[in-house]
């Protein structure tokens, strides 16, 4: 088999070329090829060595698919130490994204040249890991401790020019990299440049308080995560002699490797990329062009969706029923852009350019030549059908018609047109210009090219898209019903808004369920229930308290009070004794003896309700694969990424444990809410896991 590493002498320079698509990951074969090459260079006629990559990027890191498998020599840290020990100059030529073990390879080289479009970084923390091949020891020696702490704890790549400013890169060029790198290497030789080993450099001392401050900052920013704290320990160890610091780095790297948090984050890395693939569809299906977009409805969702497209450079026409509504919609968009400029997230020029891409109209005829229309009006099924019938008559034949409904029947909406094959759901999450998740709902008749076009478009507007089948609430909202039901039941049985929220927040959720209810607005659920006959409503214990609060005018954050009270100026929430009175009164009327609930029971009831419904969503084929469900919950519902999502988490706990707990809840609370999903019972009976089930399909 051909080695992905080539070595040849070009003009007295030993050029090591790596060609391991798609991202030149440091697989075993690449490491072996590099070791052979650097050893050959020590004794051949070359005067210096240049490390260069083919394809779209320099090495983007260790090969993550090899993690968890038995380690194979050469081990990366040893290979990089051998590169650094070279008696001949070693230059690394960087383009694309030089990340993780790739950037560590550059740091172990003696000199670094980069294309001005290159980005460099150490993103291991996003995988629950840390740079395990000298990055935590060499980066501080070149850029200083504080810059290294920022680079490694954030995991965010930086542009080549910025890296040059901190000493991490020596030369930045804008023309043909290989030629420039060969010329640069010759210039170094001509100038008599010395072999410069980073590990031999001194680390500029800092006030030890820097490390403590960084620990507090990452403990706040990466709440519950262990890798960021281990990174600070590593960088602090860089003040020791290199060999000691490197030893500490290896110990902490192995701790990360064995930490379930890293398994969760690595699972998410691949699940997010798998989610973009549509089962059963060829990857080269012909896509439709999407150059112009129309949006019907300029409310909060419509405005946010318009910004997502404008931010990606795609012109948008926003339709509203009349001029006043249109003015309101466009002013919300303008206000949001002004806010981004004020917070320094966007330059005034970029904001203006995006704003200018959003035009308004009250005339459907202005949608005649758009490639895609997204309907984003309130959840009235008849109104949506009317709108789709109108779009069917005004839009061009190959336009795609999408609905942003959160739970309505997409097939029923499609049936209101003569072209159901061009109709699907595009369920954005609020605020749509911020939230990355997009549920793409495939209707019975949705064309393959329509689905594939929208999945590809999602990447253009920087969304993480997941395919969902048609059912009430699709993947996310359907599973959420059980989660919220249990939150309300735990509340009325003995919890308080604070205790239920604290249990879930401390477990890792971005926000507790009671606070989420206040954010979403308690009146949304109230109106939906009022529209239903009493006997079709859920268990009254799960809504009597929020309904009582609504009838007191406590709608949530939007009215300044809900389960909590909110300071009008700071929006800071505080407890309110009046709410506890309502909870105790409703409990009494429902004959409930309130008992304090342990936090782990609250967590198990809410999370296992998610898992159980998630397994039904999977066995019904609403979700293509379990990883998609995990992506939905992490990008749409504040589920902690380091727990890997509901499906991965269930496997981590063990399905037999999950089933035993669900059966216990069935005994205690009844089969209506706690009948195990058939797939759960099947997998436990077979002694297998959800991920194994996914592999066998």
- When asked if residue 91 is in the footprint of ligand T1G (CB under 6 A), the reply is no
Provide, for the chain, the percentages of residues in helix, strand and coil under a 3-state DSSP scheme, each rounded to the nearest 5: 55, 10, 35
- The residue among 609, 574, 602, 575 whose CA lies nearest residue 492 is 602
Q: Which is nearer to ligand T1G, 116 or 581 (CB)?
A: 116
Q: Does 306 bind ligand T1G (CB under 6 A)?
A: no
Near ligand T1G in 630-689, by CB under 6 A:
none
Indicate whether 249 belongs to the interface with ligand T1G (CB under 6 A): no
Q: Which of 8, 66, 104, 375 is flagged as catalytic?
A: 104
Which pair of tokens denotes residue 99?
């990340």
Closest CB to ligand T1G among residues 237, 662 = 237
Instruction: Number of residues interacting with ligand T1G: please give it, by CB under 6 A.
Output: 24
User: Using CB under 6 A, which of the segments 107-115, 128-136, 339-347, 361-369 binds ligand T1G?
Assistant: 128-136
Residue 104 or 501: which CB sits closer to ligand T1G? 104
Q: Is 228 in the site for ligand T1G (CB under 6 A)?
A: no
Residue 65 or 216: the one with the smaller Cβ distance to ligand T1G is 65
What is the rounded distance in angstroms from the CA atom of residue 394 to the CA atom of residue 680?
48
Residue 276 C-beta: closest distance to ligand T1G, Å: 7
Q: Decide whether 257 or 653 has the Cβ nearer to ligand T1G.
A: 257
Strands 5-10 and 13-18 turn out to be antiparallel
Is 327 designated active site?
A: no
Query: What span, in angstroms and rounded, lies between the C-alpha atoms of 568 and 529?
Result: 29
Catalytic residue among 124, 236, 375, 439: 124
- Other Cβ atoms closer than 10 A to 73: 10
Which of 104, 236, 501, 518 binds ligand T1G (CB under 6 A)? It is 104
Distance CA 284, CA 455 (A): 13
55 or 638: CB nearest ligand T1G = 55
- Residue of 217, 64, 70, 227 whose CA lies nearest to 136: 227
Q: Does 61 bind ligand T1G (CB under 6 A)?
A: yes
Q: Which stretch binds ligand T1G (CB under 6 A): 62-70, 86-94, 218-226, 562-570?
A: 62-70
Options 187, 273, 460, 585; binder of ligand T1G; rule CB under 6 A:
273
Beta-bridge partner residues of 319: 296, 361
Torsion from C-alpha of 466, 467, 473, 475, nearest 10 degrees: -60
Q: What are phi and psi of 7, to 5 degrees?
A: -135, 125
Q: For residues 19-48, which are near ligand T1G according to CB under 6 A?
A: 22-23, 25
Of the two residues 97 and 477, which places its CB atom closer to ligand T1G in the complex?
97
Instruction: Give DSSP secondary structure letters for 372-407.
Output: EEEE---S-HHHHHHHHHHHHHHS-TT-EEEE--SS
Q: Can you tell me which of 97, 403, 405, 542 binds ligand T1G, judged by CB under 6 A?
A: 97
Tell which positions 67-86 bind ligand T1G, by CB under 6 A.
76
Q: What are phi and psi of 339, to 5 degrees?
A: -65, -40
Burial readout 344-378 (b: 16 or more C-beta within 10 A, e: otherwise): eebeeeebeebbebbebeeebebbeebbbbbbbbe
Sole binder of ligand T1G in the list 41, 99, 118, 372 (CB under 6 A): 99
Q: Which of residues 60, 158, 163, 514 is near ligand T1G by CB under 6 A?
A: 60
Q: Are 684 and 655 in contact (CB under 8 A)?
A: yes
Whether 64 contacts 35, CB under 8 Å: no
DSSP letters of 504-554?
HHHHT-SS-HHHHHHHH-HHHHHHHHHTS-GGGS--GGGTHHHHHHHHTT-
Look-up: residue for tokens 């019907």? 296
Report the nearest approach of ligand T1G to the CB of residue 627 (Å). Answer: 12
CB of 101 to ligand T1G, least distance (A): 3
Nearest in space to 490 (alpha carbons), one of 677, 659, 669, 614: 669
Which among 56-64, 172-180, 282-290, 568-576 is the span making contact with ligand T1G, rule CB under 6 A? 56-64
Only segment of 124-132, 200-208, 502-510, 677-685 that touches ligand T1G (CB under 6 A): 124-132
**DSSP β-ladder status, 437-441 and 423-428:** antiparallel
**Quick one: which of 4, 14, 131, 645 contacts ligand T1G (CB under 6 A)?**
131
Among 50, 62, 500, 684, binds ligand T1G (CB under 6 A): 62
Choice between 127 and 268, CB closer to ligand T1G: 127
281 binds ligand T1G (CB under 6 A): no
The alpha helices in 50-125, defined as continuous H runs, are 76-84, 101-108
Q: Which is nearer to ligand T1G, 78 or 620 (CB)?
A: 78
Q: What angle (nearest 5°) sits at the alpha carbon of residue 227, between those of residues 222 and 228?
A: 50
Beta bridge partners of 9: 14
Decide if 686 is catalytic.
no
Select the residue interacting with ligand T1G from 4, 14, 33, 123 (CB under 6 A). 123
63 near ligand T1G (CB under 6 A) = yes
Return d(Cα 567, Cα 657) in angstroms, integer. 43
By the 10 Å C-beta count (0-12 exposed, 13-18 middle, 19+ buried), 448 is classed as middle
Q: 3-class DSSP state for residue 253?
A: helix
Considering the complex, state which of residue 23 and residue 351 has its C-beta at the smaller distance from ligand T1G. 23
Is residue 143 packed enough to be buried (19+ CB in 10 Å), middle (13-18) or exposed (0-12)?
Answer: buried
4 forms part of the interface with ligand T1G (CB under 6 A): no
Q: Which of 107, 127, 275, 602 binds ligand T1G (CB under 6 A)?
A: 127
> Which CB, 252 or 597, lies closer to ligand T1G?
252
Stretch that binds ligand T1G, among 28-36, 97-105, 146-154, 324-332 (CB under 6 A): 97-105
Write down the least CB distance from residue 366 to ligand T1G, Å: 35
Single out the residue of 34, 108, 133, 399 in contact with ligand T1G (rule: CB under 6 A): 133
Residues that bind ligand T1G (CB under 6 A): 22-23, 25, 60-65, 76, 97, 99-101, 104, 123-124, 127, 129, 131-133, 135, 273
Active-site residue list: 104, 124
């Amino acid at each position: 088999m051909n080695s992905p590493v080539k070595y040849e002498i070009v003009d007295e320079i030993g050029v090591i070329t790596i060609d391991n698509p798609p991202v030149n990951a440091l697989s075993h074969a690449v490491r072996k090829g590099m070791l052979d090459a650097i050893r050959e260079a020590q004794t051949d006629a070359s005067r210096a060595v240049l490390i260069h990559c083919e394809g779209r990027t320099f090495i983007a890191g260790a090969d993550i698919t090899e993690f968890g498998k038995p380690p194979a020599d050469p081990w990366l840290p040893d290979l990089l130490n051998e590169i650094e020990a070279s008696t001949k100059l070693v230059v690394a030529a960087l383009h694309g994204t030089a990340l993780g073990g790739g950037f560590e390879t550059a740091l172990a080289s003696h000199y670094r040249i980069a294309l001005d479009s290159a980005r460099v970084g150490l993103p291991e923390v996003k995988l629950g890991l840390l740079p395990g091949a000298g990055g935590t020891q060499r980066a501080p020696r070149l850029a200083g401790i504080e810059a290294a702490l920022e680079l490694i704890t954030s995991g965010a790549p930086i542009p080549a020019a910025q890296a040059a400013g901190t000493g991490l890169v020596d030369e930045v060029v804008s023309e043909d990299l290989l030629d420039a790198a060969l010329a640069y290497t010759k210039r170094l030789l001509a100038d008599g440049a010395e072999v410069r080993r980073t590990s031999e450099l001194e680390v500029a001392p800092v006030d030890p308080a820097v490390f403590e401050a960084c620990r507090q900052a990452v403990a706040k920013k990466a709440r519950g995560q262990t890798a960021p704290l281990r990174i600070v320990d590593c960088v602090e160890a860089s003040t020791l002699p290199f060999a000691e610091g490197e030893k500490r780095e290896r110990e902490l790297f192995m701790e990360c490797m064995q930490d379930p948090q890293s398994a969760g984050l690595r699972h998410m890395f691949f699940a997010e990329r798998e989610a973009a693939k549509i089962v059963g569809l060829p990857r080269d299906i012909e896509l439709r062009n999407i150059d112009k977009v129309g949006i019907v409805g300029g409310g909060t969702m419509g405005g946010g969706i318009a910004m997502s497209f404008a931010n990606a450079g795609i012109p948008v026409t926003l339709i509203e029923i009349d001029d006043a509504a249109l003015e309101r919609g466009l002013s919300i968009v303008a206000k949001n852009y002004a806010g981004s400029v004020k917070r320094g997230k966007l330059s005034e020029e970029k904001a203006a350019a995006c704003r200018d891409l959003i035009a308004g109209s009250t005339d459907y005829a202005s949608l005649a030549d758009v490639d895609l229309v997204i309907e984003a009006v309130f959840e009235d099924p008849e109104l949506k059908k009317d709108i789709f019938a109108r779009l069917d008559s005004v839009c061009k034949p190959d336009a795609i018609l999408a609905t942003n409904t959160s739970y309505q029947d997409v097939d029923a909406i499609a049936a209101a047109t003569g072209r159901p094959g061009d109709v699907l759901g595009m369920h954005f999450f609020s605020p749509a210009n911020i939230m990355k998740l997009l549920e793409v709902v495939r209707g019975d008749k949705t064309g393959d090219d329509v689905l594939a076009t929208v999945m590809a478009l999602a990447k253009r507007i920087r969304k993480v898209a997941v395919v969902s089948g048609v059912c009430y609430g699709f993947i996310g909202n359907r599973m959420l019903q059980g989660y919220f039901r249990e939150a309300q039941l735990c509340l009325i049985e003995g919890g308080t808004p604070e205790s239920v929220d604290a249990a879930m927040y401390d477990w890792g959720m971005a926000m507790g369920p009671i606070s989420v209810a206040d954010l979403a607005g308690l009146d949304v659920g109230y109106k939906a229930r009022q529209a239903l006959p009493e006997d079709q409503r859920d268990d009254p214990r799960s809504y009597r308290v929020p309904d009582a609060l609504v009838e007191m005018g406590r709608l949530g954050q939007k009215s300044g009070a809900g389960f909590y009270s909110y300071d009008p100026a700071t929006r800071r929430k505080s407890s309110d004794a009046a709410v506890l009175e309502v909870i105790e009164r409703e409990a009494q009327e429902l004959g409930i003896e309130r008992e304090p609930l342990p936090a782990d029971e609250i967590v198990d009831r809410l999370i296992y309700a998610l898992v159980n419904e998630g397994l039904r969503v999977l066995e019904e084929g609403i979700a293509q694969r379990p990883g998609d469900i995990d992506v939905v919950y992490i990008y749409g519902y504040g589920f902690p990424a380091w727990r890997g999502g509901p499906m991965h988490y269930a496997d981590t706990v063990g399905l037999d444990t999950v089933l035993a707990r669900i059966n216990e809840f069935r005994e205690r609370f009844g089969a209506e809410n706690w009948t195990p999903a058939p797939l759960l019972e099947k997998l436990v009976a077979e002694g297998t896991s959800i991920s194994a089930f996914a592999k066998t399909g």
